[in-house]
Amino acid sequence: MTSASSPSPHLLDEALRLKSIADDDDHGAAGPSAGQYEGATHPGYWNMVGPFGGITAATLLQAILQHPRRLGDPLSLTVNYAGALAAGAFTVQAVPVRTNRSTQHWTLSILQAGADGAPVVTTTATAVTAVRRETWSVGDVPMPEVAPPAEHKAMVAPSGAVEWLSRYEMRPIAGFIPRTWDGSGDHSLTQLWMRDAPPRPLDFTSLAALADVFFPRVWLRRARQVPAGTVSITVYFHATAEQLRATGSGYLLGQARGQEFRNGFFDQTVQLWNEAGTMLATSHQIVYYKE
Amino acid sequence: MTSASSPSPHLLDEALRLKSIADDDDHGAAGPSAGQYEGATHPGYWNMVGPFGGITAATLLQAILQHPRRLGDPLSLTVNYAGALAAGAFTVQAVPVRTNRSTQHWTLSILQAGADGAPVVTTTATAVTAVRRETWSVGDVPMPEVAPPAEHKAMVAPSGAVEWLSRYEMRPIAGFIPRTWDGSGDHSLTQLWMRDAPPRPLDFTSLAALADVFFPRVWLRRARQVPAGTVSITVYFHATAEQLRATGSGYLLGQARGQEFRNGFFDQTVQLWNEAGTMLATSHQIVYYKE
């Protein structure tokens, strides 16, 4: 997946490197056609107490994409962050539990050795891949009318910021991270242009990660920086592989909005369009927050 | 769960009846603390080629609610419809794969005997339950201003309609099912008042089912009735058990809207408020459609 013009692998490709450690046809405890992969957390995508959630989602998708029995392209992915990954090696299990004529259903998990050496589940997931055919199509959420990327300044990650922020070029349009934490927030809508940094041709894995780049809505809504972390994210992929190729290393317009903040959890809706205005993915997540 | 005033169980409670068939502490192939339950499809919730998707989601949640190791109340639920359930018995597996201090992560599946007698996965799911504490809270999607339920006529299911429709009282406000299939559709927004029929005090299971009552958005958007079926649904629960009790057997205002219809699949966002304007749940799904 290294683009022809780059001399060394993109950090995203380094982070997503998975080595198959089980035969596809090893009908073991994990079930028929279980794929087992070894990977490792990447310091370039480190968040506060574990990897950036988007890279974890992308890693799970990568396991599916590498699986020899895969049918079709990603349609939906749900990732549940059960516990933070520790820095180091992990195992991904990807099982195509049911393959239909044009859809395939996956269950996945990430495991790490716990304190006593026994494997501990850090992440669970399900996914659907599908063979898609051209049909009647229409978008019902048009891309907001905003000025092009060049007319918005790229954010510079503040010193001391978490490392993964430097893996993305973000050009805030509206609702960016508050400058002062004075409790003055009154909405939860963020819009920004964004892409991998350095630029990298878009694919399903990077699209999945981009669905999770938004800072916690509760920070914006309250103008208060409370501890927060994603519990579960779902991504629906609308783009075909050709539409991703056509997007190339261009910008995506990302939009995120909170719906309900209640008793320690809020939910967020996300839309991602390419510069041509094609909706590539929609996403949702439920996020823990403190106080 | 039968209300004191009803002489016989509500059909929803009949449909959700699960019998535990494995010891909680049977550390077998399905993993630690796997719950195994036997249930059966209910003719009262039959759709076209299988049960109403909402009753399947509610059944999975019911398995969690009956599990002796459960921590907290439902926070999120994702259900993937891998294949239609046949009429008859099924097995639900519910495994609390990781229990944290205040959250618990579940993987679930429904199995039925296939043609050769071997178990076949019809449905996969993940869920998170959580112990919630009171925090700063705010709604960012206020309930639309609409006339109260009594001012909207209850829909009468047309003859020949699928059976589960008669399990719900629906009072359309806007964007209801087209009267003529003439290709004239121009939006995908539906709003309606709804509740179980006969009325039944709201709980997490009935709330999960209500998140799936909306007819396929593609029918409204196109004013064309093409084959369609949910592939994956996610429900985020915002309500506490007390808020559900306060809602009682009152109406919910349900709102559904499609976002993107592309190459055989569209996604839908859903919000559910009670009559007092409290957001009880938000939901999303990705739906197959033909042509």
| Span A212-239, pLDDT tens digits | 999 999 999 999 999 999 999 999 999 9
B232:A286 CB<8 A: no
| Per-residue pLDDT, B23 | 56
pTM of the model: 0.95
Give the residue on B whose Cα is nearest the Cα of A104.
B82
Taking contacts as CB-CB distances below 8 angstroms, the residues of chain B near A279 are 259-260, 262
Assign B141 to helix, strand or coil.
coil
Nearest to B140 among A100, A258, A263 (CB): A258
pLDDT digits (tens, 9 = 90+) for B99-111: 999 999 999 999 9
Taking contacts as CB-CB distances below 8 angstroms, the residues of chain B near A287 are none
B264:A126 CB<8 A: no
Q: Is residue A73 within 8 angstroms of chain B, CB to CB? A: no
Are A83 and A122 within 8 A, CB to CB?
Answer: yes
Assign B149 to helix, strand or coil.
helix
Residue A79 reports pLDDT greater than 50:
yes
Q: How many angstroms away from the CA of B9 is the closest CA of chain A? A: 33
A232:B78 CB<8 A: yes
pLDDT digits (tens, 9 = 90+) for A1-23: 445 555 789 999 999 999 999 75
Residue B31 reports pLDDT greater than 70:
no
Taking contacts as CB-CB distances below 8 angstroms, the residues of chain B near A261 are 136-140
SS (H, E, C) chain A: CCCCCCCCCCHHHHHCCCEECCCCCCCECCECCCEEEEEECCHHHECCCCECHHHHHHHHHHHHHHCCCCCCEEEEEEEEECCCCCCCEEEEEEEEEEECCCEEEEEEEEEEECCCCCEEEEEEEEEEEECCCCCCCEECCCCCCCCCHHHCCCCCCCCCCCHHHHHEEEEEEECCCCCCCCCCCCCCCEEEEEEECCCCCCCHHHHHHHCCCCCCHHHHHHCCCCCEEEEEEEEEECCCHHHHHHHCCCCEEEEEEEEEEECCEEEEEEEEEECCCCEEEEEEEEEEECC
- Show the tokens assigned to A107: 């269950």
Q: How many angstroms away from the CA of A101 is the closest CA of chain B? A: 11
Residue B27 reports pLDDT greater than 60:
no
